[in-house]
Amino acid sequence: MFSERNIWLCNPSLVDKLFTNSTKTNFFCRALSTNGFKELGMDKVGIVFNRDFDSWKYNRRILNYTLTNVKVLKGYMEAVKKLFIEIEDFSQWMRRFITDLALNMNFGDHAFSMAGYFNSLSKYKKNPTHEIIESEKFIKMIFMTFCPSNFIRRYVPPLCFFHLRFQWNYNWLTNEFSRIIQKRTQEIENVSLDKLNTHDVLDTLLTVNKAQDLKGSNGKAIKPMDEREIFGVLLEFFVAGVETVETSRLKTNPPINPRELYEQDEIGGYIIPKGSTVIACADAIHLHKNYWENPNEFIPERFLSNDYPLSMSQKLFTFGGGLRGCVGKQLAMLEMKTILVLLFRKYDVDLLNHNVDAKDKTYLLNSCNSLMVRFKIRKEE
């Protein structure tokens, strides 16, 4: 750890090799300090941190199918609308909103971490119900699960103080997912597939998973996902789909797209040794003055213009690119558009104080808590 060479690419003309769709690429692995994930066995399950090509390919194909399934997308829009009614007060709510949405979408059950948050703020505390306590546990456990380095988890304050708690959390999360997956597998086994009426992600994964016959790179058939792999894919909704859904060109989330180099390769005329980490730095690329007019200005209308050059849109990497580009892009766009429509048709949104600077923090993802906004109910015209 901390000994690898890191190469940061801040010019869009250099990132083609990282964002290629070719399976022959030397840049297949997303380079993050994976020892922490390895210890938990997460480097061979799911998608985001998966380093096993065959397993990643299979999981990605299944998730891709699931996330583009019209019934799943329709169910998702309905869930967004239903849950939106429960917020109408923002900032901290958003994380819980998206977490509840992910739980709702994955398991088809209503989740209540927003209610838990409300209870924590309210002067008039009520005894939380079993559902609220369970949903609250989910949001805390999931947050604690994603400290990627086992070194940091063990030795760097303040996280090291929570190490045992972290282990406990992780075991709780694994057992909880396992209980839900087993219960649902049994329910599905007792019903013929054409009678199955639900379209949440877990049902879709369990049914599609059975119908696939994928061959690995060695030509051998790959076995369907087992419970642990389904756990990994379900977890992706929380790893990749919660904090990312507040996004822009000016402050991109995630701000970087790292790849670990399999073999020595060349970029921009420089030879880069095997094992280096090459990082497409979206935050810098999106502000490059050669490709963006007034790069530091927030001008969303630029994307509407007919003169908007294609070459410029090819320099926008909000969802990364190539083989390991975001598999949830379509779903995320649907989610964001639905939320914006629900929000702006009812409210005018303005900054509370136009003179305050946007101060942001980065811990894997960018976040900004300094800009307070005011929501005013729109007057009917």
Q: Which residues bind ligand HEM (CB under 6 A)?
A: 30, 47-48, 60, 236-237, 240-241, 244-245, 247, 253-254, 257, 318-321, 324-328, 331-332
Q: How far is the CB of 167 from ligand HEM (least distance, A)?
A: 25
Q: How far is the CB of 303 from ligand HEM (least distance, A)?
A: 15
Which of 109, 246 has the CB closer to ligand HEM? 246
Q: How far is the CB of 276 from ligand HEM (least distance, A)?
A: 16
Which of 132, 282 has the CB closer to ligand HEM? 282
Cα torsion 365, 371, 374, 380: sign? negative
Q: How far is the CB of 201 from ligand HEM (least distance, A)?
A: 8
Are 10 and 288 in contact, with CB atoms under 8 Å apart?
Answer: yes
Are 374 and 349 in contact, with CB atoms under 8 Å apart?
Answer: yes
* Cα(341)–Cα(360) distance, integer angstroms: 26
Which of 132, 259 has the CB closer to ligand HEM? 259
CA atoms within 13 A on the CB side of 211: 11
Print burial letters for 93-118: b (CB count within 10 Å at least 16), e (below 16).
Answer: bebbbbbbbbbbbbbbeebbbbbbbb
First to last CA, the chain: 60
Which of 144, 331 has the CB closer to ligand HEM? 331
CA atoms within 13 A on the CB side of 102: 25
Which of 132, 321 has the CB closer to ligand HEM? 321
Tokens of 233: 């894919």
User: Distances in Å between the alpha carbon of 276 and those of 20, 37, 235, 260, 324?
Assistant: 18, 19, 28, 6, 18
Which of 132, 145 has the CB closer to ligand HEM? 145
Q: How far is the CB of 30 from ligand HEM (least distance, A)?
A: 6
Q: How far is the CB of 84 from ligand HEM (least distance, A)?
A: 16
